[in-house]
Homo-oligomer: A and B are copies of this chain.
Amino acid sequence: MPEAYEQTLNRGTLNELTLALSRGMFVQVRNVLHNMPACDVAHLLESSPGKTRILFWDLIDTEFHGEILEELSDDVRNSIIHQMMPEAVAEATEGMDTDDLADVLRNLPDQLYQEVLQALDSQDRHRAEAALAYEEYSAGSVMNTDTVTIRPNVSVEVVLRYLRMRSEIPKTTDTLYIVDEQDVLIGEVSLTALVTSQPEVIISELMNTDIVPIPATMPESEAAILFERHNWISAPVVNEENHLLGRITIDDMVDIIREDAEHSMMSMAGLDDEEDTFAPVVKSTQKRSIWLGVNLLTALLAAMVSNLFEDVLGQLAVLAILNTIVPSMGGVAGNQTLTLVIRAMALGHVSPSNTRSLMIKELTVGILNGIIWSVLIASVVGLWKQDLYLAIVIAFAMLMNMIAAGISGVAVPLILKKFKIDPALAGSVILTTVTDIVGIFAFLGTASWLLM
């Protein structure tokens, strides 16, 4: 393995550090922590259970607290901040990027928020209040104000002289923005264009005016989709009058792209996107119980449907034994369609022009699935229970439920979206309720008609 690979934090380091901590080798752990990049320390904290996490945190020099907090996910960051004194939080936020500073403040409980704001120096307080003026999850809330702006009528040489005079520009700068006297954005010039152009070329000849600035009010998720689709590294943020306010960089967008992609999976299981793997037990139980409560209601609903067929169930125990197969298959088939549609919606692939095609496709898949699995289940049940009528009953129920699964797999998320309910959150439970009820009705209903 090349040396380079070992330089980065791997599991071995993680285990060793935890072991050293548990043995009380605090000085050694502190030394290792101080030589690790902030992102790796953040990763270590995310991977540590509550108590170990706080022990590690206390070993880290306060001057590094800020950059480490910047790298943490919301849940973990909050769990740490709640253990800190307001003055320590204020000190840690010094020099933080504007967007991270606002994010930290936004997540503080009211009282702590006021205390931290008081403890900030006036410049940072001003920056924080400006960032907090934008709604959470808007492009404005994730932008930085560290843009480098130039005028259109100067030469490349003048720009280079200006940059040398500044002697430093933000590390992720890939583009200089060209603004007029009123700070209205009129174009951009990339650093690559700047360094490959002759010194006497005038910026206005070089600049790209065909740009798509991001309005500060655009939701950050939409901005992230634009970054992904256009392969941007940074993009300017403007207000409604096209005044340049700041810029968004790809590193902040990558986090949003991952969170949005994970959001559907976590929501489908009734979890928070950024749920801390090592959250305290009571907090985890609380968060998950809503979902379990909803599921209990739907399970009771299914039981009540079965209850309607108490007579036939009492007379034929075999129905009780087979009663779970059809709902289970419908649930799986329906969830396949649902997952596909939820992802397609998240990627922006679903629109009024293609919902009909999507519905017809999934309905046809449902019918095909229904035929395949009803033939199979009929054979199995026929051979096992030696009962032709029973085989016919379960085959019919399977066909019906597979069709219901295909239709509701497309319809449920579309309807939920129309009512502005997140399909990833509520879709799965509603769909399973539909396939449970259709499955039980079709199976026990046909059975009481054909077998009694």
Measured CB to CB, the residues of A under 8 A from B are 1-2, 4-5, 7-8, 11, 14-15, 18-19, 37, 39-40, 43, 46-49, 52, 71, 160, 163-164, 166-174, 190-192, 194-198, 212-215, 218, 226-231, 233, 238, 240, 242, 250-251, 253-255, 257-258, 261-262, 264-266, 268-271, 275, 277-278, 281-282, 284-285, 288-289, 291-292, 295-296, 298-300, 302-303, 306-307, 310-311, 313-314, 317-325, 327-329, 332-333, 335-336, 338-341, 343-344, 347-354, 357-358, 361, 364-365, 368-369, 372-373, 376-377, 380, 436
Q: Kindly list the 5 A-B residue pairs having the minimum CB-CB distance in the complex, ordered from nearest.
A: A320-B320, A261-B261, A314-B317, A265-B265, A231-B251
Residue of B nearest to A328 (CB): B299
Contacts of A341 in B (CB 8 A): 277
Q: Pick the contact of A343: B49, B262, B284 (CB < 8 A).
A: B262
By the criterion CB–CB under 8 Å, are B39 and A229 in contact?
yes
By the criterion CB–CB under 8 Å, are A250 and B277 in contact?
no
A-B contact pairs, 6 of them (CB 8 A): A37-B230, A48-B354, A163-B196, A228-B258, A261-B261, A288-B365
Residue of B nearest to A233 (CB): B233
Contacts of A242 in B (CB 8 A): 2, 4
Alpha-carbon distance between A62 and B386 when the two chains are bound, in angstroms: 62
Q: How far is the CB of A233 from chain B (nearest CB, A)?
A: 6
Alpha-carbon distance between A299 and B333 when the two chains are bound, in angstroms: 13
Contacts of A262 in B (CB 8 A): 261, 265, 343
Q: Pick the contact of A324: B8, B174, B231, B299 (CB < 8 A).
A: B299
By the criterion CB–CB under 8 Å, are A292 and B357 in contact?
no
Contacts of A230 in B (CB 8 A): 37, 39
By the criterion CB–CB under 8 Å, are B339 and A321 in contact?
no
Q: How far is the CB of A25 from chain B (nearest CB, A)?
A: 14
Number of copies: 2
Alpha-carbon distance between A313 and B324 when the two chains are bound, in angstroms: 14
Alpha-carbon distance between A358 and B316 when the two chains are bound, in angstroms: 45
Alpha-carbon distance between A282 and B367 when the two chains are bound, in angstroms: 11
By the criterion CB–CB under 8 Å, are A358 and B278 in contact?
yes
By the criterion CB–CB under 8 Å, are B303 and A321 in contact?
yes
Q: Pick the contact of A169: B46, B174, B192 (CB < 8 A).
A: B192
Q: Pick the contact of A339: B257, B266, B333 (CB < 8 A).
A: B266
Residue of B nearest to A323 (CB): B320
By the criterion CB–CB under 8 Å, are A163 and B278 in contact?
no
